[in-house]
Amino acid sequence: MTPSPEYGIILDAGSSRTTAFVYQWPAEKKHNTGLVTEKYHCRIEGPGIATYKENPKQAAIAILDCLNRTLKIIPKERYSTTQVCLAATAGMRLLELQDKPAAQRILSEIEALFKTLPFNFGRVHILTGREEAIYAWISANYLKGNLVKRNNKQYRHPFIVRTSGALDLGGASTQIAFTPRRILNKLATPAKVMLYGHKYVIYTQSFECYGKDEAERRYLVNIYQASESKWPYQSPCWPSGYNETVSMKDLFGSLCTASKKPANYKPDDEITFTGTGNPAKCQELVYLLFDFKACAGKHYCSFSGIYQPTVRGKFMAFSAFYYTKRALKLPTSFTLTTFTETLWSFCTKSWAELKVMLPKDKDRYRKGYCFSGNYMRTLLISGYKFKPASWKRISFNKKVDGNEVNWSLGYMLNVTNQIPREIKGKENMIKLAILSKVLIVFSSLLMFSIFIIYQMIKHP
């Protein structure tokens, strides 16, 4: 009799939004790791939980609707064994550095809510950047079939293991993870992961303040500080015909820009930026967001003096990488030349043209695709050192076989490593009984053989 599947709930609390995922896997695991699939997901209305620092109770209230929906997805008899966890990423990492008590109050409110649910309380915590990168790598390789493959309803480890790298671009941070040919820097401690009975050694790196949203905030701050005229401030990465007014708090309220706060700072003062649609100037300003000088003279270095081995093999890019390529109407994989030409053309479009091209996109996303495209290009080429040949080996994905590509799937796979397997069914009990009988017979024969040999020695 096959046991019913197990379930788990993961809330991905990102910097710009939170998503609840329900995963399921057979109770009988393979090498102590569950074979996980996505059953359901729910986008939580509103911004990321870090924005509720003034009203932490609202962070818990915001996620309640999606949690109630999961009650209808998971069978009642599985409530008590279903772990519910929330893991927050860079938005909360930054808030914790800026105001640790505020971050803790938000987590405490959510934890209190979880403990009122009929599920098995797991964890409410903040992931490190390294953990986020590792889980993203696990997700990408699991979905690619690099960790375990299905063949004739049987799961087995691939005969030849070729893993894929993972590229994740969030709102407040960006991550890269891959298995290098070798790690040359003694100070670069690789991550070691055990999945499906096999060990993997991974290079990982996470960059705080280098997510798409925080990078664009730093870009606007640089324009504000460099402009001689006070009104309006020109944004070459935004389309011509687009204007946006932001408060000083919007610009300088983040830990990523707080150090550049002007002496006459007043949080409610407003600044207007107007788009000029200048792709050459956009590229120039985006390049300045990175500290490439810190890597001068170093062979294995991305930016900010951070060691990185040479990228190798295939890569899967997701999150904002995917949404940017989708806006540019590009396929899953494409050449660097195609991307560069398409991006340049896109960045010359007016606001009116973009509204026709992308009618379903919200204004705050539509106006930023030129910036994110140039940011993505600079990060991948000048930062991670992708060449035209290695660029072609990147696939830009949102889903694989119905499963969303993000770190939460890797997190769930890791959780299943820690959840005890359900008691085996009758079939496995029969196998155990047979094995026991074989061992008894073998032991008896061994003892008999020893007795015969002893008698032969004693009475030659």
Binding-site residues, in ranges, read 171-175
What is the SS3 assignment for 71? Answer: helix
- Could you tell me which residues come within 8 angstroms of residue 305 by beta carbon, excluding any fewer than 6 positions away? 291, 294, 295, 298
Handedness of CA 191, 194, 195, 199 (dihedral sign): positive
132, 214, 216, 404: which is the annotated catalytic residue? 132
**Residue 273 φ then ψ, to 5°:** -110, 140
Q: Are strands 120-126 and 394-396 parallel, antiparallel or unpaired?
A: unpaired
Adjacent-strand bridge partners of 273: 233, 244
**Packed helices 407-418 and 129-144: angle between N→C axes, nearest 10 degrees:** 90
First-last CA distance in the chain: 57
CB 287 within 8 A of CB 371: no
Handedness of CA 251, 254, 259, 265 (dihedral sign): positive
Task: Measure the CA–CA gap between 424 and 91, rounded to whole angstroms.
Answer: 42
Task: Measure the CA–CA gap between 223 and 241, rounded to whole angstroms.
Answer: 18
Annotated binding-site members for ATP: 171-175
Number of separate helices (H) and strands (E) present in the chain: 15, 18
Residue 295 burial by CB count (10 A; 0-12/13-18/19+): exposed, middle or buried? buried
Angstrom CA distances, 88 to 91, 92, 175, 317, 363, stand at 7, 6, 15, 20, 26
Task: Measure the CA–CA gap between 366 and 360, rounded to whole angstroms.
Answer: 9
Adjacent-strand bridge partners of 33: 30
Known catalytic membership, residue 216: no
- Could you tell me which residues come within 8 angstroms of residue 105 by beta carbon, excluding any fewer than 6 positions away? 53, 56
DSSP H helical ranges for 179-313: 212-226, 248-252, 279-287
Handedness of CA 308, 313, 319, 320 (dihedral sign): positive
- If you ran DSSP here, which 8-state letter would residue 30 be given? B
User: What positions carry a catalytic annotation?
Assistant: 132
